[in-house]
Amino acid sequence: MTVAASLDQDCASTLKVCRAPLNNLFVCPQTGAALTVQRGALVSSDGRRYPIVREIPRFVTDDKYVGSFSFEWNTHTDTQLDAFNGSASSEAIFAEKTALRPVDVAGKLVLDAGVGAGRFSDVLSRWGANVVGIDLSYAVEAAHANFRDRANVMIAQADIGKLPFADGTFDLIVSIGVLHHTPSTETYFKALVPKLKPGGRIVIWVYPNEGDYKIRNYWIPYTSRIPAEAFYDWCRWFVPWAARRRESLLVQVIHRLFPFSNQGLGMENDILDTFDGYSPSFHGIHSNAEVTGWFADTGLAEIKALPVLTSVTGIRPSSTGPAGTASTGSG
């Protein structure tokens, strides 16, 4: 056996490409051409190569503007995963923000756009979906490690703006708490929609333009400049310090000016969530009307604003009509 053949076989097995229905999903994000596994990479017919590094296909060369997420999710690899922490909090949050139930996703091909460490892919996977999780950051290392033994999850490093999938690939696309961290929430949302099959559903949740999200929006231009390690050290000191003094006036005033996490899901979660709230480069905040407007623009139908503010869902019509055919409802 040649070295190349050996590598090909190795890649094929580790990529899970032999496992239907996650078989042959990827295409060249530049041209849409089919990709084949060759010598440790996915290669298009015109010679473009996308390396498979540590068993993960890479469609980007680095983590661009999401370095804080690379740091965050490789520090807290499993803090928020129900399968590891023994709680059902992520499942409850997912159900609340998507209004999906296990019966809605079982057997479906689902794209988790912005997988992070895999908090919601874990839920989808346990509910019986076949999940493809992508992320621009090196969080994919943590996600891949978390799902190494699950045949129904595939992880890749890719940009939502240049997705390595053919149009009409997925039955369901979910993106919960991700798109507002891109340079343009609207543009990146609209890049997802064509990847839905006709009749497929998309559900997103983005930051609402009110409350703590609005206050954090003022901080982000300054806090996102703090090196990730330094800010994380500060969060590791501050959040437990504040938690011990929750009743003190000083901490209550700080909380009004600098809202920090106190979700009741444990100290590690609060440290992670505080870091997550202030470290990203982009922090878009949006109204329900704005988000439902994007859904209508893309010709989605059965658009519904869910009870959780700025959680919106819609379906790609079987035959896409003009944007005006979409109906808008509220939950």
Q: How far is the CB of 66 from other proteins (least distance, A)?
A: 21
Q: How far is the CB of 209 from other proteins (least distance, A)?
A: 14
- The neighbour count for residue 330, using CB atoms within 10 Å, is 11
CA torsion 275-281-286-291 (nearest 10°) is -110
- The CA distance from 92 to 136, in Å, is 26
C-beta closer to other proteins: residue 36 or 74:
74
- 51 closest CA partner among 161, 166, 144, 156: 156
C-beta closer to other proteins: residue 145 or 251:
251
C-beta closer to other proteins: residue 237 or 323:
237
Q: How far is the CB of 242 from other proteins (least distance, A)?
A: 12
DSSP 63: -
Q: How far is the CB of 257 from other proteins (least distance, A)?
A: 5
C-beta closer to other proteins: residue 18 or 222:
222
Q: How far is the CB of 272 from other proteins (least distance, A)?
A: 17
Binding site for other proteins (CB under 8 A): 215, 218-219, 222-223, 226, 229-231, 233-234, 236-238, 247, 249, 252-253, 256-258
C-beta closer to other proteins: residue 84 or 219:
219
What is the maximal distance between C-alpha atoms in the chain? Answer: 71
Check if the beta carbon of residue 139 is closer than 8 Å to that of residue 167: no
